[in-house]
Every structure is written in structure tokens, then in C-alpha cells.
């Protein structure tokens, strides 16, 4: 079990915790491959998805994970709730807690709100993405995907490419990957890099790293968080930061490409590399990230509530 109430930041987890999550996820991966994808482990527990920002992957993944463990899952959509009638977030929380739920999964555009919810609730809270701050479960599922292709983490060369400035995925991922001994760098122009990027190596073009790295992590351009234009044009973006089949062909044998989704096709990754129903390239791990994400979230729910 995890010896902590909530997971708000990746630094809330020790190396032992991370290992425990990975190993537990392995045992839950097999459940998702069965015909009856359900075990009674969390029967009688109630989990609430409290999402104040849009989500496809994270919200659905937590819902599938909870249901596969037989927990009851309640999906709270802020846009159709009494928040629209002026009820405060704290009164909404009070109402939800009065229903005696066991765990809250929360996404909000403001990291302060996620912390405030955790400070004011006796039940565990999992951060499902707070503004530009953190997305710890995404970092864990990304690590799980990397683990499926490499025997050890130490020394792996990882490059995050694109909109680092707005990315909670990269903030959590960088912390976790460095903790695991990976060599992390950024590929982004100065206007897409925050001042607090510490001592990471920075490159301005994907061509500077494409032949040397093991993990190419393409970040989503977060247009919805940008109040001004951060890159001159899509053409310029394609020239320095996009992945197409020509660049893919230059990557090392056994190297992999990741993206947290949703992908802006033709910006971060070309249509041709993405493919129609699936990518024609077996080193594009986008769906594997999603599949493993369910097992990782089952592991977290089990280790916190089990
Ligand atoms: N990766 C991720 O957080 O995707 P969603 O916004 O669809 O949840």
C-alpha cells in the first residue's frame, strides 16, 4: 500500500512507491486482457471523477480502472452541475463528501484549487491535471510505457519536444524521469520554455537530437492556455519541431515516440506517422500509453484504497 493520503505531485511518491505502482500495474494488466475484465477488489468503495476541465483519456481511464476493480464510479461534470447556479466549489465538495465517497480524482485549471480540495477533505485525492502545474498519473503511465520497451531506465536519453511552457505533463515527466536516472533534455524555442526549467539541456530543433535519443516525447501545443501567439506559424513549427516520416526514419533502432494526447495532427506529428486507425510504425506508443494507463490507475486506486 502507499503510505500517503493523496497524490498531488510526482514528488509525493518515493522511488519505492513508483516501483510498487509499476509492479502492481503488471498484475492488473492481465485482468484487462481477460474476457471478464473485472475483479471484486474495491467492491463497496466509491470514487468520484471531479473534472472542471475537458478530458477524454484521463477521465475515461480512471472510470474504466475503478469499474474493473468493482468500485462505484461517479462522474461529476462541472458544466452541468449546480456550480452553474452559483454554488461554490467548497460547498460542492461538502455535498459530495456527505455522500460518503472514498476517493476524489480531480482536474482543475488551477493548482490552488486541487490543493484546497485536498486540504479540506478527509478522503484521498488524486490530481488528474492542474493547470500548467502537474499531471502525476500521466508521468507514471508514461514511465510504465517506457518500461515495456527498455530493460532499465538509467542512462536513457529522453527529449521533450514543443510546448514545455504550458505542459503539466512535461513538468511531472521531467521530475519522474530524472529521478529514475534518465538524461532529460528539451527541444523548444525560448518562448516555449519557462524560466524554472532548471539545468536541462535545451535544443532549438528536433534535428539536433533525433539520431541520439531513446525516447522522443512530443508535447501537445496547448493553444487553449496561450493568450498570445507563441510560435510564428505552423510552417515554422513543422520545420523545427514536428515529427514526420523522414525524421522518424533517422531515429535509433529500438527508440520510441510518445505523446500524451490529444495530438494536433500536422503540428506535433504528421498525419502519415499517426496513421488512420493506428500508426503504421511500431515505435509510436500513443495507444500503448493509454492501455497501460488503465493498469497504472487501477494500481493507484488499489494501493490507496485496497
Ligand atoms: N493526456 C491527457 O491528460 O489527456 P486528456 O486531456 O484527454 O485527459
For the domain that residue 125 is a member of, what is the CATH number?
3.40.50.1370
**Mutational pocket test of ligand 1: of 52, 62, 108, 129, the residue with most ligand atoms within 8 Å of the beta carbon:** 129
Is the minimum distance from the CB of 173 to ligand 1 under 6 angstroms? no
Is the minimum distance from the CB of 129 to ligand 1 under 6 angstroms? yes
**Domain-located, residue 138:** no
Sorted by sequence, the CB contacts under 8 Å of residue 88 that are 6+ apart come out as none
Q: List the catalytic residue out of 58, 92, 113, 137.
A: 58
269 and 180 share one domain = yes
Q: List the catalytic residue out of 68, 135, 175, 259.
A: 135
**Domain-located, residue 274:** yes
**Domain-located, residue 143:** no
What the block records as the C-alpha cell of 246 is 523522414
83 and 42 share one domain = yes
The reported pTM is: 0.95
Residue nearest to atom 1 of ligand 1 (CA): 260
How remote is the CA of residue 211 from the centroid of ligand 1, in Å? 29
Going residue by residue through the chain, which has 306 residues, state the pLDDT in tens, using 9 for 90 and above. 998 899 999 999 999 999 999 999 999 999 999 999 999 999 999 999 999 999 999 999 999 999 999 999 999 988 889 999 999 999 999 999 999 999 999 999 998 899 999 999 999 999 999 999 999 999 999 999 999 999 999 999 999 999 999 899 999 999 999 999 999 999 998 888 887 766 789 999 999 999 999 999 999 988 776 666 666 688 888 999 999 999 999 999 999 999 999 999 999 999 999 999 899 999 999 999 999 999 999 999 999 999
124 and 186 share one domain = no
When divided into structural domains, the chain yields a total of: 2
94 and 174 share one domain = no
**Domain-located, residue 246:** yes
123 and 17 share one domain = yes
What is the span of the domain harbouring residue 154? Answer: 150-284
Rg of the Cα atoms in the chain: 19
Sorted by sequence, the CB contacts under 8 Å of residue 3 that are 6+ apart come out as 17
CB-CB contact of 176 with 18 (8 Å): yes
Sorted by sequence, the CB contacts under 8 Å of residue 248 that are 6+ apart come out as 257, 273, 281, 283
127 and 156 share one domain = no
**Domain-located, residue 4:** no
**Domain-located, residue 18:** yes
**Domain-located, residue 202:** yes
Q: Would you tell me how many other CB atoms lie within 10 Å of the CB of residue 276? A: 7
190 and 244 share one domain = yes
Amino acid at each position: 500500500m502507499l503510505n500517503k493520503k493523496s497524490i498531488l505531485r510526482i514528488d509525493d511518491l518515493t522511488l519505492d512507491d513508483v516501483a510498487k505502482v509499476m509492479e502492481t500495474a503488471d498484475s492488473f494488466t492481465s485482468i484487462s486482457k481477460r474476457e471478464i475484465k473485472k475483479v471484486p477488489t474495491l467492491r463497496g468503495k466509491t470514487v468520484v471523477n471531479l473534472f472542471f476541465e475537458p478530458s477524454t483519456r484521463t477521465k475515461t481511464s480512471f472510470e474504466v480502472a475503478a469499474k474493473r476493480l468493482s468500485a462505484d464510479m461517479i462522474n461529476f461534470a462541472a458544466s452541468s452541475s449546480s456550480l452553474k447556479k452559483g454554488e461554490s466549489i467548497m460547498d460542492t465538495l461538502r455535498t459530495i463528501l456527505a455522500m460518503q465517497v472514498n476517493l476524489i480524482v480531480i482536474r482543475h485549471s488551477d493548482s490552488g484549487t486541487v490543493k484546497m480540495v485536498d486540504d479540506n477533505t478527509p478522503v484521498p485525492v488524486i490530481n488528474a491535471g492542474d493547470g500548467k502545474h502537474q499531471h502525476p498519473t500521466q508521468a507514471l503511465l508514461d514511465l510504465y510505457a517506457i518500461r515495456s520497451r527498455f530493460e532499465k531506465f538509467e542512462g536513457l536519453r529522453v527529449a521533450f519536444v514543443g510546448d514545455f511552457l504550458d505542459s503539466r505533463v512535461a513538468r511531472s515527466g521531467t521530475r519522474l524521469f530524472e529521478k529514475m536516472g534518465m538524461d532529460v533534455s528539451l527541444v523548444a524555442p525560448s518562448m516555449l520554455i519557462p524560466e524554472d526549467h532548471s539545468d536541462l539541456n535545451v535544443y532549438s530543433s528536433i534535428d539536433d537530437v533525433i539520431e541520439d535519443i531513446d525516447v522522443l516525447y512530443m508535447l501537445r501545443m496547448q493553444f487553449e492556455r496561450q493568450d498570445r501567439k507563441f510560435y510564428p506559424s505552423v510552417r515554422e513549427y513543422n520545420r523545427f519541431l514536428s515529427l514526420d516520416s523522414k525524421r522518424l526514419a533517422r531515429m535509433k533502432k529500438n527508440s520510441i515516440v510518445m505523446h500524451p494526447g490529444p495530438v494536433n495532427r500536422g503540428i506535433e506529428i504528421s498525419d502519415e506517422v499517426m496513421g488512420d486507425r493506428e500508426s503504421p510504425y511500431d515505435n509510436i506508443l500513443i495507444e500503448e500509453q493509454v492501455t497501460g494507463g488503465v493498469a497504472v490507475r487501477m494500481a493507484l486506486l488499489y494501493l490507496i484504497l485496497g
